[in-house]
Amino acid sequence: MSNPARPPAAGALAERPPLTFPPGFLWGAATAAYQIEGAATEDGRAPSIWDTFSHTPGRTVAGHTGDVACDHYHRLDSDVALMAELGLKSYRFSVSWPRVQPGGSGPANAAGLDFYRRLVDELLSHGIEPWLTLYHWDLPQPLEDAGGWPARDTAARFADYTTLVADALGDRVRYWTTLNEPWCSAFLGYGSGVHAPGRSDGADAVRAGHHLMLGHGLGVQALRAARPTSEVGVTVNLYPVTPASDAPGDVDAARRIDGLANRFFLDPLLRGAYPADLTADLAGVTDFGHVRDGDLATISSPLDLVGINYYSRHVVAAPVPGEQPEAYWRAPSCWPGSEDVRFVTRGVPVTDMNWEIDAPGLTETLRRVHEEYTDLPLYVTENGSAFVDTVVDGEVDDVDRLAYFDAHLRASHEAIEAGVPLRGYFAWSLMDNFEWAWGYTKRFGMIHVDYDSQVRIPKSSARWYAEVIRRNGLAAQ
C-alpha cells in the first residue's frame, strides 16, 4: 500500500474537478460473512441455506461453495491491517447467524461470538468504526427446514438472535443494520430461486418479504431494549426504474417494477403501509392474508438511519402480445404478478455482471429517498462493480473499477449539494470473494484475492480510494 495510486488511463477521468465531502463523512468498505469467512464447519458453526444451496449440484457456477472463501476467519488480523492501510474510517461486516446460533434458536455459540468480539476489538484498536449487519442472507438451515422466511416464526427467531448479538457486542458497536437487501432474500431466494434457498413461488416470495421486514422491526425493538444508544437502520437495494418510452404501457410497466423493487420495502419501512397499487398488482399472487394487525406498526419502528445499496438502473417496457419476455435474473421470475414486463438494454457500458453503469441513477435514488420518504441520515452501504482483473508483475491496474467509483462518488456529492443528508459511503467490496451463485467467477474487490494461495494484492482502485479518504474527497483529474 505504500505505492501511490496510478493515474487512470488517458481520458478515463478527464477534466474532473476536485470535490470535498462534508467533515466527518464516513468512508468505509463492506463485506458479507458467507462471502469471505470460510471455516464453514469450525468452532460450532452449522449449515446455512447458502451452504446447502452451494453444495447442491447445478446451483452455483462450477459448483463453487463458500467453504473456504477468503479464509477471513483465520486471517482476521492481517485483513484488518489492510483496512488500516487503506485508511478506512468504518468497516461494514455481517455476522453469520449459524456461527452465532447454529440451530436458529436457543443459546449462543460462545466460540462464534468470540470471533466477532475479536474482530470488533481489532477494528477499534486501528481506529476503524465497526458497522454490524445482522443478516446478509445466511439463514440457519433448521429455520429453512421449518418454513424459512415465508413462515412467520422466522421473524421472531431473528429478534431472539438480534438480542444475543446485541448483548455480546453492543457495548462496542455503535452502528447496526438489521437486514441487507431484503428484496434479494425474498424475490431471488423464494421467487426466481437463483439464490438460496432456491425456491420458486411468487406467493412465498411476497410472504418472505413481509416477514423479513417484520423481523427487521422486531430486531429494531430488540436492539432498542438491549442497547438504547445504538444507531439502528436497515439496508435496501434500490433502483431507479425508467420506462423505455412515454407510451402508457411502458409507463405502467415502470410503475409495476418500481413497486416490487423499491416501494414494496420503502413504504412499509418508512410509511407504515403497503402501496395500494402494489397490492392490486399482486392480487393474483396473494391476498396479503399473512399481514396481521400491528405488523406494519412494528415494521415501521423508528430508525436512526437508512442504508442504500446501489448498482444500476432498470429500464422497462410493456409486454409485446405473443412475445415471451427475456428473463431477468433467469427464470422463473423474481417479479411476481409482473412476469411479462420486458427489461430493456440501452447499449451503454456494462460491468462484468452485465449491469449497466449509470452513476446519475445514484443521485436520483438518494434524492428520491430523501425528498419522498425521510429526513433521516442516509448512507450508501454498498456501491461497486465487477470487472475482469489481471495480475501483471504483482499488480492489478483496475482502471474501469476506479472510474466507476469516481463517477459514483461524484454522483453522491451531487446528492449532498442537492440537500440529501448523505453521511457515508461504503465501497463494495473490500476484497474479491464468493459472489453467490456466480461463485468465484466475478470479482468486485478493491483487494485482489488469489483463492489458491489466499495472497491479497491491493488493486489500483484500493490505492486510489485510500487517497480519497485521506483527502476527504476527490482530486482534480
Which is nearest to 138 in space by CA: 93, 204, 197, 219?
A: 197
Is 382 in the active site?
A: yes
Cell of 382: 454498498
Q: Which residue has the cell 444507531?
A: 231
Which is nearest to 46 in space by CA: 95, 107, 101?
A: 101
Written as one string, the DSSP assignment of 398-460 is -HHHHHHHHHHHHHHHHHHHTT--EEEEEEE-SB----GGGTTS----SEEE-TTT--EEE-H
For residue 158, the Cα-to-chain-centroid distance in whole angstroms is: 18
Cβ density class 234-243: b for 16+ within 10 Å, e for less: bbbbbbbbbb
Contacts with 409 (C-beta within 8 Å, 6 or more apart), sequence order: 19, 425, 468, 474
Cα 472–Cα 474–Cα 476 angle in degrees, nearest 5: 140
Question: Half-sphere exposure of residue 120, counting CA atoms within 13 Å on the CB side?
Answer: 23
Which is nearest to 191 in space by CA: 72, 323, 306, 335?
A: 335
- Maximal C-alpha separation, the chain: 62
- Say which of 37, 122, 181, 356 is annotated catalytic: 181
Cell of 418: 442537492
DSSP state letter for 382: E
Backbone angles phi, psi at 158, to 5 degrees: -65, -40
How many Cβ atoms sit within 10 Å of the Cβ of residue 106? Answer: 11
- Say which of 37, 382, 414, 435 is annotated catalytic: 382
Contact 428, 384 (CB under 8 A): yes
Task: Go through the chain and tell me how many residues it has.
Answer: 477
148-153 CB contacts, 8 Å cutoff, 24+ apart: 148/49, 148/190, 148/197, 148/199, 148/208, 149/185, 149/186, 149/189, 149/190, 149/207, 149/208, 149/209, 149/211, 149/212, 149/215, 150/190, 150/204, 150/207, 150/208, 150/211, 151/211, 152/211, 152/214, 152/290
Active site residues: 181, 382
